[in-house]
Amino acid sequence: MTDSFEHITAIREQPDDDGPRLALANALTQRGDPRGEFIDMQCALVRYPDDVEVQDTLLARTSALLDEHEETWLEPLGLKPHEVEWSRGFVDTVTLTPRRLDQIGSLLARGAPVRTLVLRELGGNAARLEEAMQSPLLDVITALDLEGCDLRADAGEVFARATGLSRLRELHLRGNHLGFQGARELASAACLGGLTHLDLYDNGIGPGGMRGIVRSPHFAHLRELYVGSQSARGEQPDELIGDGGVHELARATHMTELKVLGVEWSDITFKGAQHLSAARHLTGLRKLSIQGNRVWQSGARVLVERMPRLEELNIRSNELGVTGMRVVASALNRLTSLDMSDNDAGAAKALLGATQLTGLRKLRLAFSALDDGATRVIANLPHLSGLTTLDLHGNAIGPGGARVLVNAPPMAHLTWLDLSGNPLGSAGAEALATATCLDLLSTLRLAGTSLDARGVRTLLTGAHFQRLTELVLGSNPLGDEGAAALAEASHLSRLHTLELQEAGLGETGLKALAEAPHLSGLATLLLHDNPLTEAALRALGTATWSPSIQELGLGCAWLRERPEQGQALLAQLTLAMPGVLLNEYAWRPRSRVRPSGRKRRAR
């Protein structure tokens, strides 16, 4: 069927209102068109985000409808299944190359309420970007994603010359190479006057680029701004915004609508923290990520004292020490998410007196030198009883600490737990298997915890793990016996993400996983750095999960040492796995996956 232009226009004009969608769904259902049921169920997915059983039921049905009808529904638009993500019954996001955009852009502009265009394979070519921006689709989308396209300063010039883009609200340029000159050109782009979200993370814009961005009248309505860096890239000092860059932001008093700010790994010191804290227009920030800087205890103090409305704070890796962490934890009472990882020892002491943190839902304390004693303190803090996410990876938590943690009543609402990089061993696995407070857990991360086959078999006896949708067991000596234990754990039927990198899996183990009927819904399976043979790789072609898989990690010695044979084998496997593009480097997903691991196209 082809959705009428009138219906598409109504949905586009009211993007957050389900009314026009459900009206069309009702009309289609009355005509016996299965698209009506699909729209109705996908809208329901948004209405019940926290009900796991309802989500599972709806996802199963919508995925089944997509499997049967998706190609038919996409045919009038000229789209292919791997190019789309569905949301609330309609194509919401498309991932296209410039060539494909030229072929079907006009059809999409009239035939689907597409909100996000992900443009790929630009190869750093600004001329190709400029040509793509002439498509009619660019006049109706609200978000443009150009992440990792190797764009340079001349891409900023393209935007400066552009017209149209009147509906654009989000521009994602993360992981490019605009530099300060590209940022300044971008700042002069009048077509970006409607932006509320600008992501320039990891572009090396430096203080000069930051000056151009925050002084631009076109960016006065920004609500979210990301200008940080990543520690691994190793920019030169003049590529980081530094104290000078945040000083420019502090002086940009016209940016009164800013609510989210990301300035990670940007060489910000106490002086920069002072600049931010002194800016009246920034006192209303709701989310601040200042990870990997050097604000220290004194900088943390001035920030939290002047930003009382913060709901999410990432102040990881800032050398706070126990005093600084205590200042942060005790000063804010609206926090729902707090990351104080990698700030030396003392996190437990800092949280002990933070009794006002009753609304905290996400807590991250990775690499915080937590031992069993500190874990015991955190686990029994009554004001942390609302936690749903807890990240404790990279600490010194042993079986005793794990046992206390997973049996502590304040931890009863956890749905996401990361204990990777802790010395748990088989005794820790037993503690998790007999836990009384993990009934709601959907994600369990145990990479590098010294689990062997016996430990995994013990772990999987826990009936409360039936809700797991994501299980991470990489960097453990599981071997084929451990894989067999996973293949026999039929209560893991909801699992859609399984990570088993560097786990000693061979042909026998992989065949067992391939034949496990309860793993038929797997969307992500990572098997990097295992001693996989040709026979083991061929077993993937008949796996119960081959039709559903979206991400498959196979990087192994056999593929690297036999590139020609590997290419031929992967070409054969591609036929059995329609959701994945396989190549000699092992894998490339056809469509991206949400952080939760569920197939995005089925949302």
pLDDT digits (tens, 9 = 90+) for 238-248: 799 999 999 99
| pLDDT of 370 over the 50 cut | yes
Tell me if residue 161 falls in helix, strand or coil. Answer: helix
pLDDT tens by residue, 415-444 = 999 999 999 999 999 999 999 999 999 999
pLDDT of residue 233: 56
> What pLDDT is attached to residue 582?
65
Mean pLDDT lowest for which of 171-175, 230-234, 303-307, 447-451?
230-234
Residue 78 lies in a domain: yes
pLDDT at 569: 86
> Has residue 171 been placed in a domain?
no
Pure H helices in 112-255: 126-132, 153-161, 179-187, 206-215, 242-251
Interatomic CA distance for residues 545 and 274, integer angstroms = 53
pLDDT tens digits along 472-514? 999 999 999 999 999 999 999 999 999 999 999 999 999 999 9
pLDDT exceeds 80 at position 601: no
Check pLDDT > 80 for residue 151: yes
pTM for the complete prediction? 0.93
pLDDT of residue 3: 67
Going by pLDDT thresholds of 50, 70 and 90, the confidence category of residue 124 is very high
pLDDT(591) > 60: no
* Low-confidence winner among 319-333, 427-441, 550-564 (lowest mean pLDDT): 550-564
Looking at residue 235, what is its pLDDT? 63
Task: Compute the average pLDDT of residues 443-469.
Answer: 97
Domain count, the chain: 1
Q: Report pLDDT digits (tens) over 381-412.
A: 999 999 999 999 999 999 999 999 999 999 99
pLDDT of res. 65? 95
Identify whether 129 is part of a domain.
Answer: no
pLDDT in tens, 219-236: 999 999 999 998 645 567
Average pLDDT, the chain: 92
Inside any domain, residue 304: no
pLDDT at 588: 46
pLDDT greater than 70 at residue 2 = no
pLDDT surpasses 90 at 553: no
148: exposed, middle or buried (C-beta count within 10 Å: 0-12, 13-18, 19+)?
A: middle
pLDDT at 244: 97
- Is 59 part of any domain? yes
State the pLDDT at residue 565. 87
* Residue 176 phi, psi dihedral angles, 5° rounding: -110, -160
Strand locations in 336-466, DSSP E?
337-339, 362-364, 389-391, 416-418, 443-445
Residue 581 binned pLDDT confidence (cut-offs 50, 70, 90): low
Q: Does residue 106 form part of some domain?
A: no
pLDDT over 70 at 594, yes or no: no
Least confident stretch, 257-271, 525-539, 549-563: 549-563
Residue 370 within a domain: no
CB 365 within 8 A of CB 392: yes
- Please answer whether residues 362 and 387 qualify as being in contact, where contact means their C-beta atoms are separated by less than 8 angstroms: yes
Whole-number pLDDT of residue 215: 97
Would residue 79 count as lying in a domain? yes
What pLDDT, on a 0 to 100 scale, did the predictor assign at position 461? 97
Confirm if 451 and 474 have CB atoms less than 8 A apart. no
Cα separations (Å) of 73 from 69, 102, 559? 6, 20, 37
Residues 6+ apart with CB under 8 A from 474: 447, 448, 499, 500, 501, 502, 503, 526
pLDDT on residue 558 = 85
Q: Which residue has the higher pLDDT, 7 or 209?
A: 209
Q: Is the pLDDT of residue 586 over 70?
A: no
Range of the domain at 18: 5-87
pLDDT at 593: 30
In the block, which residue shows the tokens 């300063």? Answer: 153
The mean per-residue pLDDT over the stretch 310-322 comes to 97
